[in-house]
Structure 1
Amino acid sequence: MAREKYYTCVVMSDSHGDRAIVEEVKERYMGQVDALFHNGDSELEAKDPLWDGIQVVGGNCDYDRAYPDQLVTTLGDVTIAQTHGHLYGINFTWMRLDYWAEEVGADICLYGHLHVPDATVRGKTLFVNPGSIRQPRGMINECLYAILTIFEDHIHIEYCNRNHQVYAPLTKDIPR
C-alpha cells in the first residue's frame, strides 16, 4: 500500500446538546486536519460560533431550520457527501442514500442518525457513520467519533472515544 497521505478528516455526529465535547474535538484537531465534519443532531443553534470551521448538517433533533440538510465537500480529487440520514430513511433502506451519493459522485458519504459506528463500501462509495459522540446504540457501547486518513490507494479509518483513544476493534483500511 502506498503511504502518501492526501487528507485527514475528523467526523462526529449525534452530540445531542453536549457542546463541550464538540468544542473539545474542535480544539484538538482544528488546524491539524484538512476538514472537520458534524453529521447533525447537535441540538445547538446553527449560528453558534462553535461551527466556524466545521462542516455541519442538520438532523431530526436540530430544530433550527438554518442547517442545511446535506453538503458536498471536495478535498482535491475526493468528493465527500454529508447528511444526517433521517431524510433518506436509513433506518429502513440504503437505497435513497446510495442514489444520492451516486448522483453527487461521492467517494465518501458521511451520515449519522443511527448512533452506530460503521464503514461500508457500496458500489464506489465508502459510507461512514462515526457513531454517536454522546449516546451510542447497538452492540458497541462506546461514545465515538471517526478519523479518516485518505491515501492515494486506500482510506484508513479509526474510531476514537471521548478520551481521544483509538477504539482498535473498528480500525480498518478500505481500498480506493
Structure 2
Amino acid sequence: MASYTLIVMSDSHGDREIVEEIKNHYLGKVDAIFHNGDSELPSSDPVWEGIHVVAGNCDYDAGYPNTLITRFPNVTIAQTHGHLYGINFMWDKLDLFAQEADADICLYGHLHRAAAWQNGKTVFVNPGSVLQPRGDVMEKLYAKIEVTDHKIVVSYYTRQHEPYPSLSQEFSR
C-alpha cells in the first residue's frame, strides 16, 4: 500500500518569505512540495530547490515550465497554473489536460480560490493563494493532500500552519 503526503501552494506574488517558510516547515517531512505559479520570483532562486514549480501569468522568467507531470508509484499528478487552460470561463481544457496525463490529481492556481473537486478519477485542487485570496474565503491558504490506495484527502492550512477545516474534503479513488 502506497501513501503520500503533498504540500501545495500558489499565487505567492513576490512573497518569497512565505514560500521559504512553507518549504522549511515541510521539507523532509512530506513526499513532495508544489507551487502552482505566480511566484514572481526568478526561476533560478534557490528557494525552488526541492519544489515542483510551474509558470503563472505573472511569471515572466522563461525558466519555468507551463506544466509538470509528477509520477509516484500508483499516483500521477498533473500541475499547471491554469491561465493557459481558460479556467476563468470553463473547465473543459483543464479536464482534458488531466485526462491526457492520466492524472489522479490535477493541481492548479490562478483563481486565488481554494477548491477541491473530483471529475472521473481525477481530483482537482486549487490551494488558494498564500498572499491574495479572493472569493468567499478570504484566508491566505495552502493545501495538504494525503493520498492512499483508496482515498485522497485535501486539507487547507493558514500561513501559520493552522488547519482551516471547513474546506477539507475526502475523495474515493
Per the normalisation by structure 1, the TM-score is 0.97
Alignment partner of 1:122 out of 94, 119, 144 = 119
Offset at residue 5 of structure 1 (A): 6.3
Please name the residue that 2:62 is paired with: 65
Residue-by-residue CA offset, 1:119-175 (whole Å, 9 max, x unaligned)? 010121110000000000000010000000111210111100011000010111111
Task: Please give the secondary structure, in 1, of the residue aligned with 2:3.
Answer: strand
How do 1:151-166 and structure 2 match up within 5 A?
Answer: 151-166=148-163
How do 1:14-163 and structure 2 match up within 5 A?
Answer: 14-163=11-160
Q: What CA distance in whole angstroms lies between the structure 2 residues aligned with 1:103 and 1:155?
A: 20
Task: Please give the secondary structure, in 1, of the residue aligned with 2:93.
Answer: helix
Task: Please give the secondary structure, in 1, of the residue aligned with 2:18.
Answer: helix
Output the amino acid matched with 1:159: Y
| 1:12 equivalent in alignment to 2:3 | no
Aligned length: 173
Q: What CA distance in whole angstroms lies between the structure 1 residues aligned with 2:35 and 2:113?
A: 15
Q: What CA distance in whole angstroms lies between the structure 1 residues aligned with 2:40 and 2:54?
A: 11
Per the normalisation by structure 2, the TM-score is 0.98
Q: What CA distance in whole angstroms lies between the structure 1 residues aligned with 2:163 and 2:73?
A: 27
List, as ranges, runs of 4+ consecutive aligned residues in structure 1 with deviation greater than 2 Å: none
Q: Note the residue ranges of structure 1 that are not aligned, 5 or more in a row.
A: none
Task: Please give the secondary structure, in 2, of the residue aligned with 1:96.
Answer: helix
RMSD: 0.9
Q: What CA distance in whole angstroms lies between the structure 2 residues aligned with 1:67 and 1:21?
A: 19
Q: What CA distance in whole angstroms lies between the structure 2 residues aligned with 1:120 and 1:171?
A: 11
Aligned residues of 1:5 and 1:149 also touching (Cα < 8 A): no
Aligned residues of 1:146 and 1:160 also touching (Cα < 8 A): yes
Q: What CA distance in whole angstroms lies between the structure 2 residues aligned with 1:159 and 1:59?
A: 21
Aligned residues of 2:5 and 2:32 also touching (Cα < 8 A): yes
Residue-by-residue CA offset, 1:7-58 (whole Å, 9 max, x unaligned)? 0000000000000000000000000000000000000000101000000000
Please name the residue that 2:165 is paired with: 168
